[in-house]
Structure 1
Amino acid sequence: MSRRRWPWIVLVLLLAAAAVIAYRMRPAEVQVVELKRSALQRTLQFSARVATSSRVNIGATITGRVAAVQVREGDAVRTGQVLLQLEPDELRTALAQAQANARQAQARVAGLRGSVRSTAQAQLEQASATLRAAERELARTQQLIADGFISVARLDEARRAVDVARAQQSSARAQLQAVGDSGAELAQAQAQLAQAQAAIEAGQARLAQATLRAPTDGRVLLRNVEPGQIVQPGSALLSLALAGPTELVAQVDERFLDQLQAGQPASVVADAFPAQPFAARVQSIAPAVDAQRGSVEVKLAPGQAPPAFLREDMTLSVEVLTGERAAALVLPLSGLRDEATPGHGTVWVVADGRVQARAVQLGLRTLDAAEVLAGVAEGEQVLVGPGAPPGQRVRTRIVSWQAAVKHWGGTREDGVNSVVNTMGR
């Protein structure tokens, strides 16, 4: 090799080494996103079920055999409409017997107040006349004995006749009092009449109970009875959804209670009709939490007339708009380094070519972003994903919002945005 080539070789090696050193010493490249203002919405997702304002189970109050069932599941019913009929023959026979007993008791009362009372009055008058005659005979006997015309033995006979007549008068008077308006016999007869009339009312009520009617307008949800079946009191034979406003009822995890309030708008989709969403609004939030499930009951009302396809207990997917900002300074959650306390965290920004740590105050937070209230300004560059620590010089590469979101490795629960609950009633 010529000596003239050595200087060039050495120069090339020195330049290559300088290039390697310069490459290794250059600032590390980091990915940043420029903060901008945009609309920000937070939603909460959960499952719900359709429920009417009230539901009632219809059952028999007497034991009997089902003669006919007049409705089927899904039928609309009106107030007073016959739903089910029990066999009434035995009940009608019992009612007829009670009516006959009442007529008999009424006839007895009328008899006591009529002919029986007249007979008792006549007997009293006859007994009184007999007593008067016996008393006159006793007085005449006493006079004849005093005059010496008859013996004293006749006096005892006259006195016995008076005593007998007096006893007959007392018996007749007691009989008349018994059949009088305040007498015991008439009172007994009237009590028997009242008892017979009460038996009629009980028979009529039991006969009416053999016919089950709709208590109000509604729709038949369940039918658990067929003709010929023997039913007992307390068994639910039919279930009705009473006419009233349709409600959507959900059990929402208590962790998200602070996001919900009455009046919030929602979008609802029935699992069976995914192409027909409809609007709703949060109507009420239960004041108590279910301790066993750790959930709170939330009721929603359709915005207008509920869709015709809604059915009792139908499964729905609900998305409630729980927060909204028209123009918020939005930070991807991939740029949030830590969150020491709720609403306060730290981000790394690039200023003058170096990484700086900034404390920020956060507002509305969604699944993948948060509103920045203080700490950074619009247009500043925030590191997303892994990067150089504060104080180090860096080179920046601006990435899109979509790319920044991909760096966020949180879950649905971490985002404090949405949760899917199973609904129990």
Structure 2
Amino acid sequence: MAKKLKNPKAKWAIGLIAIAIIAFIGFRIWKGKQGELPEGIIAGNGRIEAKLVDVAAKEPLRVQKIFVNEGDLVRPNQVLVQLDTTTLQANLAEANANVAAMNERLAVSQASIVKQKSEIELATIELERARRLVKDGAGSQRDLDVRASKLETTKATLAEAEAMLKSSTEQVEVAKASAKTIQTRIADATLKSPVTGRVLYRLAEAGEVLQPGGAALTVVNLEDVYMEIFLPANEAAAIKLGSEARITVDYEPDRAVPGYVSFVSPEAQFTPKQVETKSEREKLVFRVKVQIPKELATRYVEQIKTGIRGVGYVKVNPNAQWPARLQKVITAESASR
């Protein structure tokens, strides 16, 4: 009698376990279906990246002051580093003094020409007068010859003055160019941000001397943000530049960022170590760059974090439809709301 009472409970327990197993399997199948991509869309793992820009010195100068720290957000033309220009300022003062001296020399040459031209006019008048006197028998030939010689000498002096004027003009231009060059060098000693970005590394401190090309800071260009994915040849071959794309990140997979294909590698390579498993790295793949539009990156510049892992999706068939989970996209307009 006891066995008959026990069997119904065992049957119910087995039935519930069977239902739970079926439900679990069904859920896994449903979940797998949700992750499947429609035909015409391919995907690859990657991470958010951005171009790096070095803020560097053009010539060996000492760092006077650095105005930013690692992690600071910077804007185009923002002053980041000031290099010491004491020596250059002294060179500029000397160059400006040289310009002033050359201008004075130029003024003397110009005045000399005016004077020589006046003397030529006077010598010409006196020569004509001497000729008339000789013709009338009232003057001597010797006086005529002296007047003619004086005119020729004055003309030669004018030619010399004009040559001096040309030389002085050239020297003024050279002096101005030298001063302008030093001014440019002084301007170059003020290091400004070329992009909107975030300071990644602070590579120098006040008092250090930077060598030509030596970087004081490294800035992440947050206007040039992208994800690189690696796809096998049969998938990469179908991708065209400009193809529509989507990016999702692991911490927020239910929202997608619109993008486009800006680069497809012309040659195969091994998948980078940090992206895939060892078995995947052993396969040859093609690097594909999914670019985030600049205007969108600029809108979300304060939220962008490089190095975040995610997935990049690319349409190889323009008529393919994005699955529902990739249709909720972030836009520049939503950033302003």
Aligned pair partner of 1:174 in 142, 156, 166: 156
2:52 touches 2:219 (CA, 8 Å); kept in 1?
yes
**Quick check: 1:281–1:300 contact (8 Å CA) kept in 2?**
no
Q: In 2, are the aligned partners of 1:77 and 1:214 still within 8 Å (CA)?
A: yes
The code of the aligned residue for 1:167 comes to S
Contact kept, 8 Å, 1:55 with 1:242, in 2: the verdict is yes
Question: Residue 99 of structure 2 aligns to which amino acid in structure 1?
Answer: A
Between Structure 1 and Structure 2, which shows a larger proportion of strand residues?
1
Deviations 1:186-210 (CA, angstroms, capped at 9, x unpaired): 2222222222222222121111111
Report the counterpart of residue 279 of structure 1 in structure 2. Answer: 255
The answer to whether the 8 A contact 1:75-1:219 is kept is: yes
Larger helix proportion, structure 1 or 2?
2
Identity %: 25
- Give matches, 1:243-322, under 5 Å: 243-244=222-223, 246-254=225-233, 257=236, 267-269=248-250, 277=253, 279-280=255-256, 283-285=259-261, 286-293=263-270, 294-299=285-290, 310-312=304-306, 314-318=307-311
Match of 1:49 in 2: 47
**SS in structure 2 opposite 1:244?**
strand
Q: 1:296 to 1:139 in 2, by over 3 A?
A: closer
Cα distance change on mapping 1:187 and 1:83 into 2, 3 Å = same
| Aligned CA distance change for structure 1 residues 95 and 143 (closer, same or farther; 3 Å) | closer
Q: Give the superposition deviation at 1:268.
A: 2.6
Describe the SS at the equivalent of 1:174.
Answer: helix
In the other structure, the counterpart of 2:64 is: 67
Question: Which of the residues 80, 83, 90 maps onto 2:77?
Answer: 80
Distance 1:164-1:177 versus aligned 2 partners, 3 A rule: same
Q: 1:233 to 1:128 in 2, by over 3 A?
A: same
CA 269–134 in structure 1, closer or farther in 2 if over 3 Å, else same: same
Alignment of 1:4-403 (within 5 A): 40=33, 41-42=35-36, 46-52=44-50, 54-114=51-111, 116-125=112-121, 127-128=123-124, 131=127, 135=131, 159=141, 161-179=143-161, 183-244=162-223, 246-254=225-233, 257=236, 267-269=248-250, 277=253, 279-280=255-256, 283-285=259-261, 286-293=263-270, 294-299=285-290, 310-312=304-306, 314-318=307-311
CA-to-partner distance for each residue in 1:117-169, whole Å, 9 max, x for gaps? 453245335544664676577668x899xxxxxxxxxxxxx655543432221
CA distance in 2, matches of 1:280, 1:72: 32
**How far apart, CA to CA, are the structure 1 residues paired with 2:258 and 2:129?**
101
Over the residues paired in the alignment, what is the CA RMSD in angstroms?
4.1
Give the drift of 1:253: 3.9
Query: Which residue identity does 1:283 align to in structure 2?
Result: G
Distance in 2 (CA, whole Å) between partners of 1:308 and 1:131 is 87
| 1:418 corresponds to | none
- What is the TM-score of this pair, normalised by structure 2? 0.62
| Secondary structure at 2:81 match in 1 | strand
Unaligned ranges ≥5, structure 2: 1-25, 271-284, 316-337
**Maintained 8 Å contact 2:246/2:260:** no
C-alpha deviation, 1:263, in angstroms: 5.3
Count of residues paired in the alignment? 262
After superposition, the Cα gap between the structure-2 partners of 1:162 and 1:309, relative to the gap in structure 1 and judged at 3 Å, is closer
Structure 2 letter corresponding to 1:269: D
State the distance in 1 between where 2:127 and 2:239 align.
100
